[in-house]
Amino acid sequence: MIHQQPKLDTSPKVSDEVRKTTCYMCACRCGINVHMKNGKVAYIEGNRDHPVNKGVLCAKGSAGIMQVNAPSRLRAPLKRVGPRGSGEFQEISWDEALEIATGWLKPIRETDPSKLAFFTGRDQSQSFTSFWAQNFGTPNYAAHGGFCSVNMAAAGIYTMGGAFWEFGQPDWDHTKLFILFGVAEDHDSNPIKMGIGKIKARGARVVGVNPIRSGYNAVADDWYGITPGTDGLLILSLIHVLMKAGKIDLDYLARYTNAPCLMIENPGADDHGLLLRDADGKVLVIDRATGELAPFDRPGVRPDLTGTHVQNGQTCHTVMYKTVNRYLSEEYTPEAVADRCGIPAARIRALAAEIARVAFDEAFEIEQEWTDFRGETHKLMKGRPVSFHSMRGISAHANGFQTCRALHLLQILLGTVEVPGGFRFKPPYPKPVEAHPKPHCKATPGAPLDGPHLGFVRGPEDLALKPDGSPARIDKAFTWENPMSSHGLMHMVISNAHAGDPYKIDTLFMYMANMSWNSTMNTRGVIDMLTDKDESGDYVIPRIIYSDAYSSEMVAYADLILPDTTYLERHDCISLLDRPICEADGAADAIRWPVIEPDRDVRGFQTVLVQLANKLKLPGFTNEDGAAKYTDYADYIVNHQRKPGIGPLAGFRGAAGDKAGRGEVNPDQLDRYIENGGFFVEHVPDAARYYKPWNAAYQDWAVGMGLYDSPQPYLFQLYSEPMRQFQLAAEGHGERQPPDHLRARISQRLDPLPIWYETDQHGNEGYTVNALTQRPMAMYHSWGTQNAWLRQLHGRNPLYVPTKIMREQGLEDGDWARVTSPHGQIVVPVMEMAALNDNTVWTWNAIGKRKGAWALEPDAPEATKGFLLNHLIHELLPPKGDGLRWANSDPVTGQAAWFDLKVKIEKVAGPEEMTESQPAFDPIKSPVGTGPKTLAWKVGE
């Protein structure tokens, strides 16, 4: 028989040119190769040399081309002409826009800078935006961390000087047991997938602890479908079992943690429960060699975990002693927690045993000599190949801070942090609390703030309170309600500003945060607050400036829109001063640069901030002679220095571009980055790769890189002294005193050793089903919808309901159900899911859209079938009857408790009987129209 086939050109030209920059379709910040044809973006792929993604790219990243060309892109500055929320705008020039903004901001700065609230979303230039706000002088600045995952960040930093989130990673190359708590996607999108892939390729075990078995949990070898909010109990139970079996790393605890530190025993006094210190403020241990007290870091000291010391007739015990006493208690046996966690006791024991087996029986060594901070040289690096990772599943609960602490305690007891096979920090972490700033809040008319806004409090004296004890910040961060709110409380800004509590503001300035829709709790209520008017007919929040790149829901609620560029059209800086892109083995940073020019009248927002700063003559932006220091953001990136020799970018510093970390300004720095593929990486030396907090080689390297000013070895904090400081205040000690109604709460919740407590369930009677959201891997919050390719994957979101509830309620796939919380109700389509905790429903986050937004047609499924769970979640808990409104957040950090939501569910209609999910909102007018009817995007011939 004859077979013929056409001749094919199998080597066609791929592109005219490849431009290497950084992805922005999410906060993972992978390196991308942008293939250009005829001056247009033709294809985007991962950059193989890049430390973050090593060539791979997620769905969003590959769809960047549809984002850069999205019809929803804003085209020019907009001035509101209709009422707020109508979407009626007039396009204006940049001159006029900057004039308006300056006209609003200048008087504020001169009279009372705190009348400006400047808040940013998942901003990737926080070191810059905060610098701007600090120079403006307002105390009211924060990014989105408070509603995102501050529990994770703060618990990590307070416990071990770094967190999961993007501050660390499992040792993917060595770990043999990886346990994932409450993660659907996380910021390290690609690295986690690559890591799981590596583990799987080795045939090692992945355990997923998550009420929902999808994504990472679907590939997990073992799934623990836990009841939401009870991870702390499970973890403490694991600790109980492991401890009882003696499966803890005593050597590690003695050397590297505050387990051997002595606690002052002085009941009733203002130092009771603090750590015993010497005159230099160093914590003290008993040296096993001498049996005497010794500062923890004295060379040669061998801290004794069971040491005691008698002082003023009282016996001081170690932190270890207290820890053992607490967690060996019967309240943490698997049998005692099983029902509440929804996991049989035998499975808890099995997990503990497997952890013990891998940590201790599969311990291994890497031949690498290193020297610790006490001067002792170790021939080997001992590996314990158990690693953990976790994110919002445990942190977005009102007991999240303590749960995150508990997980760190577990890792530390096993000795798996910063050892081969365990969890590893990424530079600039580890960084103990002491190396972080404290919060600052003192505003002075016409002058900068007295220091950085956000930081880590060490005790009541660091709270952001005015002299009269009232909150200094509009979001009430760092107050007795949430003393350790290191990231601020973005989710309280609009409601507090609307209530004028703690005070009224004049201008709300926001940047890339969709606060009238998916990013807020109580969406309807927030919309009302944004449009509410006072008796005189003025808006209660008088002015709103907003920067977005696209026609989001929030645009309609601002008075002045500063349209941003897309990520391929501007300079950006992913800085070590900020949220960097480092890997455990290297410090890295990166840039974005305009690989294409905008075809609209838009400007990079950071450049706009520079221009505003110049108009306002903000000190940090103005030379002595009154001239502007920087013309635009690119100029700032290259020439700004935080400290001499340290600027936004660590790479290619010095006149010759040969210095890393520290070095003079290099005018060609951006070009050098571009030549290098858009990023810079400096590898951690071999001897410094593990044991970073205590490893002299690492400490020296970090100082050289400008990450620290001087070596800062420290101990992991099983026991958190700052928390004890707050407890002491609640017990009546110290000058700054909490209000009486908060005393008991502070005493209980700010326990310096991890605890578990049930989150505040008042008002939830009758609402028994947990309701959660998850990030879809192929969508980024609200942005993805405008993307023609991505929205075909997730164009609507059913509520996934476990089989048991489907049967109980007589529901079938596609039926409509009413979901009610104490705060409100929604009516949405349902779909059955068997691989789900029996008492949990969930949906994809942020798929639901407002009609008229994102250049979608008003009948887009996102707006008709999609929905938000946010309508059911309030920023406040239902009234208790005590005259107070309690926040729906963690009492320690103020983290928004998204996942504490409890609902009930009932069938209302069959699939065909309803057409729209409820609540249905009126359409907003699109300032950009809608998109085309067909796409066939090809830029080459």
Ligand X SMILES: Nc1nc2c(c(=O)[nH]1)N[C@H]1C(S)=C(S)[C@@H](COP(=O)(O)OP(=O)(O)OC[C@H]3O[C@@H](n4cnc5c(=O)[nH]c(N)nc54)[C@H](O)[C@@H]3O)O[C@H]1N2
| Interface contacts to Mo ion, rule CB under 5 A | 148
- Which of the ranges 244-252, 703-711, 756-764, 770-778 carries the binding residues for ligand X, by CB under 6 A? 770-778
Give the residue, chosen from 399, 845, 917, 926, that forms a contact with ligand X under the rule CB under 6 A.
845
Residue 742, SS3 per DSSP:
helix
State which residue, 166 or 760, has the beta carbon closest to ligand SF4: 166
- From the list another protein, ligand X, ligand SF4, none, pick the one residue 535 interacts with, judged by a Cβ distance below 5 to 8 Å according to partner type: none
Kindly state the tokens that stand for 594.
């305009």
Cβ of residue 921: shortest distance to ligand X, in angstroms? Answer: 16
Distance CA 817, CA 804 (A): 15
Q: Which of residues 171-200 bind ligand SF4 (CB under 6 A)?
A: 189-190
Residues 6+ apart with CB under 8 A from 29: 22, 23, 52, 124, 574, 581, 590
Q: How many CB atoms lie within 10 A of CB 838?
A: 13
Distance CA 722, CA 891 (A): 15
Print burial letters for 270-286: b (CB count within 10 Å at least 16), e (below 16): eebbbbbbeeeeebbbb
- From the list Mo ion, ligand SF4, another protein, none, pick the one residue 148 interacts with, judged by a Cβ distance below 5 to 8 Å according to partner type: Mo ion
Residue 238 in contact with another protein, rule: CB under 8 A: no
Residue 819 in contact with ligand X, rule: CB under 6 A: no
Residue 833 in contact with another protein, rule: CB under 8 A: yes
Distance CA 634, CA 719 (A): 44
Q: Which of residues 446-505 bind another protein (CB under 8 A)?
A: none
Distances (CA, A) of 203 to 177, 297, 360, 365: 10, 41, 19, 20
Cβ of residue 147: shortest distance to ligand X, in angstroms? Answer: 6
State which residue, 195 or 459, has the beta carbon closest to another protein: 195
| 206 residue type, one letter | V
| 8 Å CB contact between 749 and 402 | yes
Give the residue, chosen from 30, 57, 133, 183, that forms a contact with ligand X under the rule CB under 6 A.
183
Distance CA 430, CA 423 (A): 12
Residue 26 in contact with ligand X, rule: CB under 6 A: yes
Give the residue, chosen from 46, 87, 229, 663, that forms a contact with another protein under the rule CB under 8 A.
46
Which residue shows structure tokens 């504490």?
Answer: 900
State which residue, 58 or 924, has the beta carbon closest to ligand SF4: 58
Give the residue, chosen from 184, 381, 560, 742, that forms a contact with ligand X under the rule CB under 6 A.
184
Q: Which of residues 781-810 bind ligand X (CB under 6 A)?
A: 781-783
Residue 547 in contact with ligand X, rule: CB under 6 A: yes
- From the list ligand SF4, Mo ion, another protein, none, pick the one residue 834 interacts with, judged by a Cβ distance below 5 to 8 Å according to partner type: another protein
Phi, then psi, of 536 in degrees rounded to 5: -80, 5
State which residue, 793 or 909, has the beta carbon closest to ligand X: 793
* Dihedral (CA of 828, 834, 840, 844) sign: negative
- From the list Mo ion, another protein, ligand X, none, pick the one residue 358 interacts with, judged by a Cβ distance below 5 to 8 Å according to partner type: none
Residue 215 in contact with another protein, rule: CB under 8 A: yes
Cβ of residue 698: shortest distance to ligand X, in angstroms? Answer: 28
- From the list Mo ion, ligand SF4, another protein, none, pick the one residue 29 interacts with, judged by a Cβ distance below 5 to 8 Å according to partner type: ligand SF4
Residue 677 in contact with ligand SF4, rule: CB under 6 A: no
Cβ of residue 801: shortest distance to ligand SF4, in angstroms? Answer: 25
Give the residue, chosen from 57, 143, 150, 928, that forms a contact with ligand SF4 under the rule CB under 6 A.
57
| 8 Å CB contact between 648 and 636 | yes
- Which of the ranges 36-44, 159-167, 445-453, 459-467 carries the binding residues for another protein, by CB under 8 A? 36-44
Give the single-character DSSP code of 549: S
Q: What is the DSSP string of 879-932?
A: P-SSS---BSB-TTT--B-GGG-EEEEEEEE-TTT--S-BSPPPPPPPTT----
Distance CA 156, CA 411 (A): 11
- Which of the ranges 421-429, 491-499, 508-516, 790-798 carries the binding residues for another protein, by CB under 8 A? 790-798
Sheet holding 40-46, edge to edge: 17-22, 31-37, 40-46
Residue 310 in contact with another protein, rule: CB under 8 A: no
Residue 539 in contact with another protein, rule: CB under 8 A: no
Distance CA 799, CA 806 (A): 11
Q: Which residue is nearest to ligand SF4 (CB)?
A: 61
Give the DSSP H or E segment for 675.
helix 669-675
Residue 391 in contact with another protein, rule: CB under 8 A: no
For every residue of 242-255, which 3-state class applies, written as one string? HHHCCCCCHHHHHH
Q: Which of residues 590-609 bind ligand X (CB under 6 A)?
A: 605
- From the list another protein, ligand X, Mo ion, none, pick the one residue 13 interacts with, judged by a Cβ distance below 5 to 8 Å according to partner type: another protein
Cβ of residue 251: shortest distance to another protein, in angstroms? Answer: 5
Side-chain-facing half-sphere of 245: CA atoms under 13 Å: 16
Side-chain-facing half-sphere of 824: CA atoms under 13 Å: 18
Residue 29 in contact with ligand SF4, rule: CB under 6 A: yes
Q: Which residue is nearest to ligand X (CB)?
A: 393
CA nearest neighbour of 610 among 92, 24, 111, 101: 101
Cβ of residue 196: shortest distance to another protein, in angstroms? Answer: 6
Q: What is the DSSP string of 351-387?
A: HHHHHHIIIIIT-EEE---EEBTTS-EES-EEE--EE
State which residue, 66 or 465, has the beta carbon closest to ligand X: 66
Cβ of residue 784: shortest distance to ligand SF4, in angstroms? Answer: 10
Cβ of residue 57: shortest distance to ligand SF4, in angstroms? Answer: 5
Residue 23 in contact with ligand SF4, rule: CB under 6 A: yes
- From the list ligand SF4, another protein, ligand X, none, pick the one residue 864 interacts with, judged by a Cβ distance below 5 to 8 Å according to partner type: another protein
State which residue, 829 or 848, has the beta carbon closest to ligand X: 848
Distance CA 237, CA 329 (A): 10
The radius of gyration of the chain's CA atoms, rounded to the nearest angstrom, is: 27
Residue 401 in contact with ligand X, rule: CB under 6 A: no
Phi, then psi, of 348 in degrees rounded to 5: -65, -45
Distances (CA, A) of 878 to 40, 827, 881, 886: 53, 21, 9, 8
Residue 331 in contact with another protein, rule: CB under 8 A: no
Distance CA 28, CA 30 (A): 6
Distance CA 190, CA 29 (A): 9
State which residue, 190 or 523, has the beta carbon closest to ligand SF4: 190
- From the list ligand SF4, Mo ion, ligand X, none, pick the one residue 613 interacts with, judged by a Cβ distance below 5 to 8 Å according to partner type: none
Residue 773 in contact with ligand X, rule: CB under 6 A: yes
| 8 Å CB contact between 661 and 582 | no
Which residue shows structure tokens 């103990």?
Answer: 432
| 8 Å CB contact between 407 and 423 | no
Residue 21 in contact with another protein, rule: CB under 8 A: no
Distances (CA, A) of 597 to 39, 41, 511, 630, 788: 10, 11, 22, 21, 22
- Which of the ranges 18-26, 354-362, 592-600, 677-685 carries the binding residues for ligand SF4, by CB under 6 A? 18-26
Per DSSP bridges, beta strands 543-547 and 560-561 are: parallel
- From the list ligand X, another protein, ligand SF4, none, pick the one residue 346 interacts with, judged by a Cβ distance below 5 to 8 Å according to partner type: another protein
Residue 197 in contact with another protein, rule: CB under 8 A: yes
Kindly state the tokens that stand for 124.
């990737």
Residue 822 in contact with another protein, rule: CB under 8 A: no
Residue 379 in contact with another protein, rule: CB under 8 A: no
Which residues of the chain form contacts with ligand SF4 (CB under 6 A)?
Answer: 23, 25-26, 28-30, 53, 57-58, 60-61, 189-190
Which residues of the chain form contacts with ligand X (CB under 6 A)?
Answer: 26-27, 121-122, 144, 147-149, 181-187, 189, 209-212, 226, 228-229, 231, 391-394, 397, 511-514, 518-519, 547-550, 552, 554, 564, 567, 605, 772-775, 777, 779-783, 845-846, 869-870, 898-899
